[in-house]
Structure 1
Amino acid sequence: MTIPAKRTSRRCLAGALLVAGLAASFGAAADSVALRHVRVIDGTGSASRENSTILIENERIAAVGPDAQVTLPEGARELDLSGRSVLPGLISNHSHLGMTDGTGAGAQNYNRGNIERQLRQFQRYGVTTVTSLGLNGPLFQRLRAEAHSGIGVGADLFGADRGIGVPEGAPPMNVAPEQLYRPATEEEARAAVREMAARKPDLIKIWVDDFNHTLSYKMKPEIYTAVIDESHAHGLRVAAHVYYLDDAKKLIAAGADILAHGVRDLPVDNELIEAIKATGAWYISTLDLDEAFYVFATQPEWTQTPFFRQALQPALAAQLDDPAWRRHTLADPKKLAIWEQGVKTNQANLKRLVEAGAKVGFGTDSGATPLRIPGFAEHRELQLAVDAGLTPLQAIALATGNAAALLGLDDRGVIAPGKRADLLVVAGDPSQTIADSQKIEAVWQQGREVSGPVVP
């Protein structure tokens, strides 16, 4: 790892010390390592803690507290991370794997090499746990088992098996038959759930809406009601792809456990908020989803930063730089207005739900299309959440502690004794300036330093 030359000489010296220490642990289990003099952002939403030490032993956090109060075992390696912030590894509750490669999308991309490439990119960008929320083929079970056992590559992996869509409707993706069910009857829907339940997915996914009036059919209420009922009978929760307020209300009433996208057609109202709270359902905004349709064509300054450019495959980078592609993307003012309004409505709804105390997780739909870029999208989601009116600490909590709770994982998502040492080391202070989450210097996963700076 190297520290960019443009940083000050004092920073370079500190960075060199950091690099030397981290390099010693690269690829090896950190039996006893102390991250010293750090700012801890613990993932609970609580204020950051300065001048702290995180002690890692055998893949877990053994202790965390003020520097003077954490006793180190004899022989512990100490890494001086003065000026750095440490937060939990980010957790995605809504992504997709093996759907895209370069500028293309389709079943041909669902292969081990491509999925492992994406898992490594998530990890490199500090996303240490990923939920592939549907459209998964048989390979998924093997990759998930490898990830859980520690022999896989990249981020840890959870997911929703194939998922259930609509005949001649959502999702409008080119996927193989073994990646999706499209039941036409209640019994077909129940049979699909039973088949998936036998493979022990983490969730069941359904696509309900018509993608903002771009498809001819929506899922019939009797179909999603049967899916939810059968899933619950097998102890499985259901995550629903939604767009409209009316569908969200009906799904929560039918027992859906997770609204996997934000409501974007109308402001959420008290009826939905109270229903979500009363049932304990979760809500995931995926703010980045609609923005990704158009924002790259407008070329904001951040699209030229190394942090963003490093996330692009060559073919995608060439497309984003193509003036003809940009003109075509922005050519329809009606579509552009719908996308822009969708982001604004989504942001306002997120803020209201957080303020109301609803359970809100974190996701972006990264990997579903080439423009929803694994790893980078999650940092953009943090920025959009803050732009919506959340504090940086609230946004980070959605992506760490809350996201772990949505998955029912009590072993990660916060920095506390006994938790997995899945950690993101960044320069600056993202608890004050959320963009500092992008100043990645190291990623730790299960007590191992697995990646260095995104920007060399």
Structure 2
Amino acid sequence: MVGSGVSAQRAPIGPATRSYVRVDTAVVALTNVRVIDGTGAAPRDGQTVVIRDGRIASIGPAASASIPAGAVTMDLAGKTVIPGLVMVHEHLYYPVGAGTYGNLTESFTRLYLAGGVTSMRTGGNMNGISEILIGKSIARGDKAGPWIDATAPYLEGPGMGFNQVQILRDTTDARKLVEYWADLGATSFKAYMNISRAALKVAVDAAHKRGLKVTGHLCSVTYREAADAGIDDLEHAFFAMNDFVPNKPVDTCVGRGGAAQNTMAALDPASPEVQALFKYLIDRNVAVTSTLTIFETFTPGRPLPRGLDVLLPQLRDEYQRRHDATQRNTQSPYLKSFAKGMAMERAFAKAGGTVIVGTDPTGGGGLVAGFSNQRAVELLVESGFSPLEAIRISTLNGATYLGRGDVTGSLVPGKLADLVVLDGNPVQDITAIRNVELVFKQGVGFDPKALIESVRGKAGLW
């Protein structure tokens, strides 16, 4: 498991991050606030949350709360406090044209934090060592951003052709890549679409020996085969599944794109075949990551994503053209598969499966860090999860998967003061998740507006 790497002190603040901080004091009392604790429990109105030295000291009714002497007191009547979001398919790169991805570690880390994300896993790496180093810079207080579980460069076999991905020639390469990047500080690994079963098995075994986890966006390997190899998580939930593609050759990626979506769209989540796959994954402790945000960008009739104004004008305009073209595509397979994918995720959870969530801001662009994370929570609710279930998936489920459920992911005395102050009640209207007024990370309150303004019109440069 990934070590928590935390202390009892507040998050450090360096000179470069000071301008984004609104609250920096040893003891803070958030009074008269609604508490949604991330466990799925009902909201508690009229509460006082006391933060001391970076951790939650107490939570209780405001009428009887004892506020420590010298505490900075903030009256949050009408506001809601939720745990900081824990998002597990994020990227610090973004498509910038010609099959190339730009390194956005500086801008995206600020935007993730501004959107309420206090912990994240990068779901694949095009930036080499930079993602590991930015995580260390954030931990030192030199940069503003979430705690980062940094994934190594992709574990990929021949066939994809990305010019920023090293291709594995054999199982020896798979083992060496895992060991090399684990030595450098990577804390997760991601298998990609053309990996072989043998290479996946070797990579998983090597990672598990280090106490690290492996996820996968798969195509050549089926979900059952990946579960047999010991994989911990499957990206894109069931949108990337190849198990029901007829006559699929072993170790070969077939049925991508429209064929895969048409296959899934024809499935019944309640059918014996699908339920059997669910059970197979659940029995082997395989989680699935919901990434509905990226599939929404492929689907006609869906709204334009929020946050595009922070992008470079060229990237914003490029995505607008793509969005317009998507709206005109009356033959898109996602017209059927998007709703079915939602239903599959809900059915997997009802069967007892673990769902975690992320956004995947790659594809054809349009997904901006922070804004897209809020949208991910909204789409879980649209899928049929209650707001409380969606918040748990987006907080405690992710923290537990990352091995950090004992220190973050829910609002419990003794845990880190990783929490988000919202204007409104997300149980009554999940879009209140967008109204982020303050983000506490390990007891330090960051100003989301200042973070966003620092990168407006520049995301895409750095």
Q: Which residues of 2 match residues 294-443 of structure 1 at below 5 A?
A: 294=299, 298=301, 300=303, 308-322=307-321, 325-334=322-331, 336=332, 338-367=333-362, 369-409=364-404, 410-443=406-439
The offset of 1:450, in angstroms, is 0.8
Equivalent position SS for 1:99: strand
Distance 1:99 1:316 in 2: 10
Q: Which residue of the partner structure matches residue 159 of structure 1? A: 150
- Counterpart of 1:220 in structure 2 is 196
Q: In the superposition, relative to structure 1, how do residues 66 and 25 fare at CA in structure 2: closer, same or farther (>3 Å)?
A: farther
Contact 2:308 2:366 in 1 (8 A): no
In structure 1, distance between residues paired with 2:61 and 2:116:
24
User: 2:86 touches 2:398 (CA, 8 Å); kept in 1?
Assistant: yes
1:81 aligns with 2:76: yes
Question: How far does residue 161 in structure 1 lie from its aligned partner after superposition?
Answer: 1.3
Paired position in structure 2 for 1:202: 187
Corresponding position of 1:188: 173
256, 262, 267: which is aligned to 2:231? Answer: 256
> SS of the residue aligned with 2:290?
coil
Amino acid across the alignment from 1:377: S
- What's the CA shift for 1:67? 0.8
Q: 1:445 aligns with which of 441, 445, 450?
A: 441
Q: What displacement does 1:234 show? A: 3.0
Counterpart check, 1:125 vs 2:115: yes
Q: Offset at 1:45?
A: 0.9
Structure 1 counterpart SS, 2:33: strand
Report deviation, 1:130. Answer: 2.1
| Residues 367 and 65 of structure 1: CA distance in aligned 2, closer, same or farther (over 3 Å) | farther
**Could you give the per-residue CA deviations for residues 155-187 of structure 1, whole angstroms, max 9, x where no partner exists?**
222121112112122xx5442xxxx33112122
Alignment deviations for residues 427-455 of structure 1 (CA, whole Å, 9 cap, x no partner): 11102221111122222222122114599
User: What's the secondary structure of 1:413's corresponding residue?
Assistant: coil
Amino acid at match of 1:240: G
- With over 3 angstroms needed to count, the CA separation of the structure-2 counterparts of 1:165 and 1:321, relative to structure 1, is closer
**Change beyond 3 A, Cα 1:67–1:346:** same
CA offset at residue 252 of structure 1?
1.0
- Give the equivalent residue in structure 1 for 2:248: none
Paired residues, number: 403
Tell me how far apart the structure 1 counterparts of residues 307 and 375 of structure 2 sit (CA, whole Å): 10
Q: 1:270 aligns with which of 247, 268, 275?
A: 275
Aligned to 2:460: none
Describe the shift of the 1:404–1:368 C-alpha distance in structure 2 as closer, same or farther (beyond 3 A): farther
Check conservation: 2:115, 2:448, Cα contact below 8 A: no
| Structure 2, unaligned runs of 5 or more | 1-17, 240-262, 454-462
Contact between 1:362 and 1:399, CA under 8 Å: does it hold in 2? Answer: yes
2:46 to 45, 51, 58: 51
Question: Hey, what does 2:12 align to over in structure 1?
Answer: none
Which residue is 2:251 aligned to? none
Structure whose residues are more often helix by fraction: 1
Q: Deviations over 1:175-217 (max 9, x none)?
A: 2xxxx33112122222222212222322111013xxxxxxxxx
User: Quick check: 1:106 aligned with 2:66?
Assistant: no
Structure 1 unaligned segments of length 5 or more: list them: 1-22, 209-217
Alignment partners' CA distance in 1, 2:189 and 2:318: 34
Say whether the 8 Å CA contact 2:291–2:358 is kept in structure 1.
Answer: yes
Percent identity, please. Answer: 28
The 8 Å contact of residues 81 and 422 in structure 2, kept in 1 or not, is answered as yes
Write the letter of the residue equivalent to 1:74.
Answer: A
Structure 2 counterpart of 1:314, one-letter code: P
* TM-score w.r.t. length of structure 2: 0.80
CA contact (8 A) 1:131 1:157 kept: yes
